[in-house]
Each structure stands twice: as C-alpha cells, then as structure tokens.
C-alpha cells in the first residue's frame, strides 16, 4: 500500500488568505477612489447651487459648472484646445525631466561625498531662496523669449525638492545598515547600490511628486512669458476679453495636469516600492 503524503493543515487557509489578498486591493482601491472623488463632487455641487440655482454670483464673475463644461466643449470643437494642451504638456514634461534629473544628480553628489556637499550645497541653498518668477527677466536676457527659457523656468522650480529630498535621504540612511554592509565586505559602489539607494528611494519618489506639482505652477508663470501657444496663451486672451468661463477652463486644465503628474508618481512609487511594508492609514 503506497504512502499518502499528508496535506498540511495550513494549506487551505493559506489559499483562502491568498484569494482574499487578491480581492481586497481592488475593493480598497474602489472605496478609496470613491472617497477621493466625494470631495470634488461636493465642491461641484456647492458651486452649482451658488451659481445656477440660487444665483449668488453674476455669470460674468463666476459661471456655473454647466457653462464651463459647455465652454470646454466649444473650445475643443471650434478651436485648437487639444493642440494647446499638448504644447503645455510638452513644456511641463521637458522642464520637469530636466529639473528632476539635475536635482537628483546634485543631491546624490552632495549626499554621498563630503567634497560634493562642500561645493554644491551652499550654492543650491542660496538659489532655493530665489523665487523662480524672479529669474524670468534674467532668462529673457540670456535666452530670449522662445521655448528654451520657458523650459528652464520649469526646471528651475522642479529641481530643488528633488535635491533636498535625495540629499536628506542619503544622509539619513541608518548607520547600522551601513556598518552591517561593511562587515559583510561590500565595496563602496555595492554599498551605494544595495543599501543607500534603496533607502533613499521612497523619499526620492515623494520628491518627484513635489517636483511635478511645482512644474505645473512654474508652467503657469512660464507661459505668461510672451507665449503664442499653450494654455497660458489661451488664459492671457481670456483675461484680455474678461472671459471668466475660459479662465476657469484653463485653471481646470492646469489642475488636471497637476493631478495627473501626482498619479503617475504614485503609480511609480507603488511599482518600485512594492517590497516595502508601510502603514497605510487607519
């Protein structure tokens, strides 16, 4: 009679737990999405009640949400709103990519080596105190009024959060991890790759969210720089003709760009840091 291998008692419960873990994230994601959207819905409801229902504001001062939606549809249908949005996205993406790259590189050099800190940190801290709008006249003198100064203004604003967070994350790496790695004989490059960079990954991704948000703020300022295309160009024309509905459309587009950048950074954080177990809130 052949021996039968006994099935461990924990097998069935473990399988059930795995199925529950697979179903739970989708339910939590749907619930979280509903909670996040409820605040926006409440604002839109109050806006609709105060304008279209009770008439607390003149339409020329604060149009109703329905009017803004109609204006958005007309701009897409009759104008080149999609092309203007694409121009603004390209500017913001190029500026953010440049600023994040420069900020991360300088933060790594300053955090990993004391010589780098001595050479880099003081000038960066000085420039950080300068509002990016203050460098607009200087960029006009240096680079003219084309696309380059607009991209550089965005990069200037986006670089500092990345620098500060990368530098701080590297310097705040747990010294016990570093000492343990040295005991096991890790070389300096291996120590940086396997200990310091993973420890700095989460703060760097938080800095990415901040940099992307600031890049949209800087985009608004950059597109006031003699722009002949982009959302800022439409915003300038709406200001000249006192079109509050078009101004609200442009503000909504800028807000959507900021939210999209934040969602992209959150997605990267979940993908790249899936191995980390952290507190997810009560």
- Is the confidence at residue 79, as pLDDT, over 80? no
Segment 206-264, tens digit of pLDDT: 889 899 999 998 998 888 777 788 898 888 888 888 889 999 999 999 999 988 988 88
Segment 170-217, tens digit of pLDDT: 888 888 888 888 888 878 888 888 888 888 888 888 889 899 999 998
Q: Band of the pLDDT at 275, cuts 50, 70, 90?
A: low
pLDDT at site 181: 81
CA distances from 251 to 5, 173, 177, 179, 193 (A): 67, 40, 46, 51, 42
- Is the confidence at residue 28, as pLDDT, over 50? yes
Q: What is the 3-state secondary structure (H, E, C) of 23-87?
A: HHHHHHHHHHHHHHHHHHHHHHHHHHHHHHHCCCCCCCCCCCHHHHHHHHHHHHHHCCHHHHHHH
pLDDT at site 277: 64
CATH architecture of 65-272: Orthogonal Bundle (1.10)
- Is the confidence at residue 12, as pLDDT, over 50? no
Segment 102-154, tens digit of pLDDT: 999 999 999 989 998 999 999 999 988 888 778 888 888 888 888 899 999 99
**What torsion do the CA atoms of 56, 57, 63, 64 make, to the nearest 10 degrees?**
0
Q: Break the chain into its structural domains and give their ranges.
A: 65-272
Cα–Cα dist 33/41, whole Å: 12
């Amino acid at each position: 009679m052949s021996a039968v291998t006994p099935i461990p008692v924990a097998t069935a419960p473990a399988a059930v737990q795995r199925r529950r873990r697979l179903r739970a994230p989708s339910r939590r994601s749907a619930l979280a999405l509903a909670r996040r959207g409820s605040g926006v819905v409440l604002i839109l409801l109050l806006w609709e009640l105060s304008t279209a229902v009770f008439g607390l504001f003149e339409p020329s001062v604060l149009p109703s949400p329905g009017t803004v939606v109609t204006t958005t549809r007309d701009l897409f249908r009759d104008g080149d709103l999609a092309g203007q949005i694409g121009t603004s996205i390209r500017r913001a993406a190029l500026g953010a990519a440049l600023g994040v790259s420069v900020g991360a590189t300088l933060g790594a050099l300053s955090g990993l080596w004391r010589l780098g800190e001595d050479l880099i940190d003081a000038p960066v801290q000085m420039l950080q105190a300068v509002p990016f709008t203050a460098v607009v006249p200087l960029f006009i003198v240096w680079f003219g009024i084309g696309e380059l100064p607009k991209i550089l203004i965005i990069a200037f604003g986006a670089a500092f959060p990345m620098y500060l967070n990368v530098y701080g994350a590297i310097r705040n790496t747990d010294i016990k991890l570093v000492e343990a790695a040295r005991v096991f004989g890790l070389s300096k490059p291996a120590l940086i790759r396997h200990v310091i960079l993973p420890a700095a990954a989460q703060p760097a991704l938080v800095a990415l969210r901040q940099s992307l948000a600031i890049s949209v703020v800087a985009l608004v300022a950059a597109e006031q720089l003699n722009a002949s295309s982009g959302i800022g160009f439409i915003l300038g024309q709406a200001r000249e003709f006192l079109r509050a509905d078009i101004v609200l459309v442009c503000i909504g587009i800028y807000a959507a760009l900021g939210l999209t950048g934040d969602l992209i950074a959150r997605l990267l954080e979940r993908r790249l840091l899936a191995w980390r177990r952290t507190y997810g809130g009560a």
